[in-house]
Every structure is written in structure tokens, then in C-alpha cells.
Amino acid sequence: MARARGGDRKAFSELVRRHQTAVYRVCYRVLGDPEDARDAAQEAFVRCFTKLESFEGRSSFKTWMLRLAINVSLNERKARARPLPPELREPPADPSGPEDDLLRKEAAERVHRALRLLQPNHRAAVVLRDLEGMSHAEVAEVLGVPEATARSWAYRGRQRLKDLVT
């Protein structure tokens, strides 16, 4: 990070390489469209590059980067003011057995259809906590809210998901 802030483009490229998958997943889960997610992820990294000097190191780079990605994705959704596509698909995964793939895909589709029905703040908290595996403290940092609020949003989002999926 220090080298990237100093203008080392190779160091910045390494940061992009390390975090591009997580950034894309977050953008995809907020936007629901692979092309929109690619655009949002790219925009998040552009903003990251232009704002490197503002990174104060109070959080991990990943936390800071995912906050940028969430903000870009939520702004994109708001700007487009269109509903998510009817089917939310999981990003392409490595193939395994056909039965396993089918079961996994069906379950993922149910969850992702339900995710689109959550309030944006609840969806973001669930995506970061449960799908990206972040701690409540990290989720709070990414979303810019107190930890108790992040816990509440994740809990409410999970409860609503449970109601919608079962």
C-alpha cells in the first residue's frame, strides 16, 4: 500500500490483482448484473487510485476498498433507478459434478432472488458479513456505521432472507 501511495504502479496493480475478485463479487451482489458489476468494480478501482492519498490506514486496505465498491454500486443502482433483473445468478464458478452444480445453482438463485428484495443497507450488511466473511466491525467500517447498526442490519437482513427463502 505504501508503495502504491508513492506512485508505484506495479504495487497498485498488485493491490488490484489481490482484491479484484472480492470487489467484483460485492458489486455483482449489489447490482445483480455481470456487466454492471464489471463497470462498478472498474470505477471503484479508478476511485481507489485517485483517492490513495486519503487512505489513512485506520482500517485494512480490503475494508477501505470494499467500502468504495459498495458506495459505487449503491450509487449506480440509485442513478439507474431500475429494478434488479428477475434472476440473480451467482458469478461463474469452477465446475464440479452436474448434480452438485444444479443443486448449488438452484439454492444460490433462491438466495439471490431473495437478496434483491432486501433493503439496500440490509443487503449490503448480509453480503459483507455472510457472503464475504467479514467481521461485524469490518462491516461497520465498510458501511460507515456503528458496529451495533451493522449487527442489526445483518440480523434483520438474515431474518428477512429466511422468511423469503423458506
**pLDDT tens digits, 39-53:** 999 999 999 998 888
Out of 16, 46, 76, a domain closes at 76
Predicted confidence at residue 142, as pLDDT, reads 87
pTM for the full model?
Answer: 0.65
DSSP state of 91: P
Domain count, the chain: 2
Percent of the chain surpassing pLDDT 70 = 84
Whole-angstrom Cα Rg for the chain: 16
Q: Tell me the three state secondary structure of residue 125.
A: helix
Q: What range defines the domain where residue 39 resides?
A: 2-76
Question: Which residue type occupies 3?
Answer: R
What grid cell was written down for 109?
Answer: 438463485
Predicted confidence at residue 38, as pLDDT, reads 93
**Tens of pLDDT along 71-114?**
898 888 776 654 544 444 455 555 556 666 677 777 777 777 88
Q: Which of the listed ranges 36-40, 55-59, 110-114, 162-166 does the model predict with the highest average pLDDT?
A: 36-40
Kindly report the average pLDDT of the chain as a whole number: 83
Give the CATH number, domain containing residue 27: 1.10.1740.10
Q: Is residue 122 part of a domain?
A: yes
Do 9 and 65 share a domain, yes or no?
yes
Do 119 and 69 share a domain, yes or no?
no
Residue 83 CA to residue 51 CA, distance in Å, equals 30
Neighbours of 146 (CB within 10 A): 10
